[in-house]
Amino acid sequence: MLIDTIQKALAPLNLEKVAPGDYAKTGYHLEVAATPDQMPAVAQAMLKAGCFLESLTAVDVSPEAFTLVYHFANFKKLCRTVVHASLAKGTEAPTISQVYPGADWYEREVFDLFGIRFAGHPNLTRILLPEDADFHPLLKEFGAGDAGTGN
Amino acid sequence: MLEPGTEEKTFTLNLGPQHPSTHGVLRVLLEMDGEYIAKADPVIGYGHRGHEHMAENRNYFQFLPNMGRVDYLHALAYNQGWCMAVEKLMGITVPERAEFIRVITAELNRLTSHLLWFGAYLMDLGAFTPFLYCFDDREHILDLLDRVTGSRLTYCYYRFGGVPSDIDDEFIAGCWAFIDRFRSRWKDYDNLVTKNVIFINRTKGVGIITPEQCVKYGVTGPNLRGSGIPYDIRKSEPYSAYPRFNFEIPIGKNGDIYDRYIVRLAEMEQSLRIIEQALVKLPNGPIMAEKVPKRIKPPVGEVYQAVETARGEFGIYVVSQGDVKPYRVKLRVPSFATLSILPEISVDNLVADVVAILGSIDVVIPEIDR
């Protein structure tokens, strides 16, 4: 079973939580909690298990912290792994783009929309918004009309 | 002016943002070494509308029409993704007949998407006639979908718990007529394109995507299957009524443009098969779940729901904090991952082939920009 392989591969990393998820309710087979610093090692283990990075995003959970959310899935066997990593605001998370080149654009998007910096990223620039934008629209403090009309 | 003694080896060529072969507002900065690509750098975001931000500022139902505007070519798959995510959060079960109607209409919509790709892509390669053939066929589907959904393109047809209006006998008869008509056209398509030696020479062995690259970049959909990996959410992570139907996942061998073309063509036949079976087995009964709350206010939690669109895996990640508005919505769109592979697969190709490669991965730019 793929889920066992992944659990075994993640065991030596001493993660905060590695537990089976409630698939019918959430769509996750495996739920993992880690620190951002552990992410490159987690990504390495997931790549070794043959998983691909489905999505990488963030949630502005509180005035003090973000949660980085990584989804991994597999082309051969159905097993979705979600990794939540809490990141204090104002601190950097290490990039995983050297493991998954596909993460390059996802991390740029998270930087663009949340202002989160990824240490070691080869080209951390805005990707969706104009280069001269001075806001990060998915922060909760950014309201519905704050981008102006563009005039 | 160049300093004496220095030699400029490469130059920059700007492709887009307004270019017919970018199919939307996409810019690619090409660093050229003569006729060959030394580096390609896609510049995206021209069509950014902030769908994810909009989601946080309206209630669950109000966000539904946005779904038809992310990937406007396969809008119903996006409708389905959002509805299924909310249904999962709320614990709503969709009646059988509604699931069948969803499958029939979503597959018809997949056909329109593949047909548009087919016509537009061959036009990129310089063939005008196939475009006229497939738009003729596509028009029949648009009329059918118009009849049940009320629109031709940016559909907003599914609702939480089912569909708002039933399909009638005329629609069903129209589907059967279309299936017969479309099958009779395969020969024309094959003669026009598949056996066309110019087409074969331009596409075989060009723009190869390897299975390893697919894993590293998260490429899904026909681009992945062209590389020989049979991954299709409809089979791998079955949803809606798909487990009831027999269909195959067409795959390629070499991962080149030609294989991606063959995969999409074969997929259209599989969609016809699914529609046929759904029409035959179509159950009677309600089209809407009985207990759908007027106020959608899901409990605290999060879900990830994946559906197979014409371009690959659309994943929707919703975080609820028990409010009438979603706390966070992330749209994982297939074209985003697919386009990020372009720099890698276009290097060392001729500039004329970049247009062929870009068209072959079938990206929809508004979906990438969101």
Per-residue pLDDT of chain B (370 residues; tens, 9 = 90+): 456 655 668 888 888 787 777 777 888 888 888 888 888 999 998 889 889 998 998 889 999 999 988 988 999 999 999 999 999 998 899 999 999 999 999 999 999 999 999 998 998 888 888 889 989 999 999 999 998 998 988 899 999 989 999 998 999 999 999 999 999 988 888 888 888 888 898 888 888 999 999 999 999 999 999 999 999 999 989 998 999 999 999 999 999 999 999 999 999 999 999 999 999 999 998 988 888 888 888 999 999 999 999 999 999 999 999 889 999 999 999 999 999 999 999 888 888 888 889 889 888 888 898 8
Q: Does B337 touch chain A (CB under 8 A)?
A: yes
For residue B17, say if its preceding peptide bond is cis, omega within 30 degrees of 0. yes
Whether residue A134 is predicted with pLDDT greater than 90 in this model: the reply is no
Whether residue A131 is predicted with pLDDT greater than 80 in this model: the reply is yes
Contact A27 B88 (CB under 8 A): yes
Q: Does B273 touch chain A (CB under 8 A)?
A: no
Give the model's confidence band at A151: pLDDT under 50 very low, under 70 low, under 90 confident, else very high.
very low
Domain ranges of chain B: 11-369
User: C-alpha angle with apex B359: A121 to B80, nearest 5 degrees?
Assistant: 80
Whether residue A147 is predicted with pLDDT greater than 80 in this model: the reply is no
The partner residue sitting opposite A129, judged by closest CB among B48, B229, B302, is B48
Count of A-B CB contacts under 8 Å: 96
* Structure ipTM: 0.89
Contact B337 A27 (CB under 8 A): no
Contact A129 B330 (CB under 8 A): no
Distance from CA of A147 to the nearest CA of B (A): 10
The partner residue sitting opposite A27, judged by closest CB among B45, B231, B303, is B303
Q: What pLDDT shows up at residue B7? A: 63
Q: Does A88 touch chain B (CB under 8 A)?
A: no
For residue A111, which of A70, A38, A57 has the smallest C-alpha distance?
A57
Q: Does B308 touch chain A (CB under 8 A)?
A: no
Q: For the domain A2-91, what is the CATH code? A: 3.30.460.80
Helix (H) or strand (E) holding B280: helix B257-281
Cβ-proximal residues to A115 (8 Å cutoff; 6+ apart), any chain: A136, A139
Q: Does B305 touch chain A (CB under 8 A)?
A: yes
Identify all chain A residues contacting B50, using CB atoms and an 8 Å cutoff: 137, 147
Q: Residue with structure tokens 């975001």?
A: B45
Domain ranges of chain A: 2-91
The stretch A123-144 carries a mean pLDDT of 87
Q: What pLDDT shows up at residue B320? A: 92
Q: Does A107 touch chain B (CB under 8 A)?
A: no
β A17-20/A30-34 pair status: antiparallel
CA distance B31 to B15: 11
For residue A77, which of A50, A113, A39 has the smallest C-alpha distance?
A50
Q: What pLDDT shows up at residue B328? A: 93
The partner residue sitting opposite B229, judged by closest CB among A26, A75, A130, is A75
A52's tokens: 């691909």
| Spatial contact of B121 and B362, defined as CB atoms under 8 Å apart | yes
Contact B304 A80 (CB under 8 A): yes
Which CATH entry fits the domain spanning B11-369: 1.10.3720.10, 1.10.10.10, 1.10.645.10, 2.40.420.20?
A: 1.10.645.10
The stretch A110-136 carries a mean pLDDT of 91
Q: Does B232 touch chain A (CB under 8 A)?
A: no
| Spatial contact of B2 and B8, defined as CB atoms under 8 Å apart | yes
Q: Does A78 touch chain B (CB under 8 A)?
A: yes
State the number of CA atoms in the 13 A half-sphere of B294 facing the CB. Answer: 0
Distance from CA of A23 to the nearest CA of B (A): 9
Question: Quick one: closest CA in B to A123, which residue?
Answer: B41
CA distance B25 to B124: 16
Q: What is the DSSP string of B301-349?
A: EEEEEEEEETTEEEEEEEEE-SSSS-SEEEEE-HHHHHHTTHHHHHTTS
Give the model's confidence band at A103: pLDDT under 50 very low, under 70 low, under 90 confident, else very high.
very high
Identify all chain A residues contacting B366, using CB atoms and an 8 Å cutoff: none
Residue pLDDT, tens place only, B60-85:
999 999 998 898 899 999 999 999 99
Distance from CA of B197 to the nearest CA of A (A): 34
Q: Does A131 touch chain B (CB under 8 A)?
A: no
Amino acid at B246: N
Identify all chain A residues contacting B56, using CB atoms and an 8 Å cutoff: 138
Name which of A105, A110, A123, A131 to mutate to probe chain B: the one with the most chain B Cβ atoms within 10 A of its Cβ: A105
Residue pLDDT, tens place only, B249-263:
999 999 999 999 999
Contact A75 B313 (CB under 8 A): no
Q: Does A129 touch chain B (CB under 8 A)?
A: yes
Helix (H) or strand (E) holding B53: helix B51-55
Identify all chain A residues contacting B216, using CB atoms and an 8 Å cutoff: 47, 52, 100-102
Identify all chain B residues contacting A127, using CB atoms and an 8 Å cutoff: 44-45
Average pLDDT, chain A: 89
Cβ-proximal residues to A135 (8 Å cutoff; 6+ apart), any chain: A142, A146, A147
Secondary structure of residue A117 in the 3-state scheme: coil
Q: Does B48 touch chain A (CB under 8 A)?
A: yes
Residue B5, judged by CB atoms within 10 A of its CB (0-12, 13-18, 19+), counts as exposed
Q: Does B224 touch chain A (CB under 8 A)?
A: yes
CA distance A14 to A28: 21
Q: What pLDDT shows up at residue B217? A: 93
CA distance A129 to B360: 27
Question: Quick one: closest CA in B to A96, which residue?
Answer: B216
Q: Does B214 touch chain A (CB under 8 A)?
A: yes
Residue A123, judged by CB atoms within 10 A of its CB (0-12, 13-18, 19+), counts as exposed
Identify all chain B residues contacting A71, using CB atoms and an 8 Å cutoff: 304, 315, 317, 332
The stretch A109-121 carries a mean pLDDT of 92
CA distance A74 to B220: 11
Contact B215 A52 (CB under 8 A): yes
Helix (H) or strand (E) holding B32: strand B27-33
CA distance B246 to B241: 11
Q: Calculate helix-pair angle for B351-360, B257-281, nearest 10 degrees.
A: 20
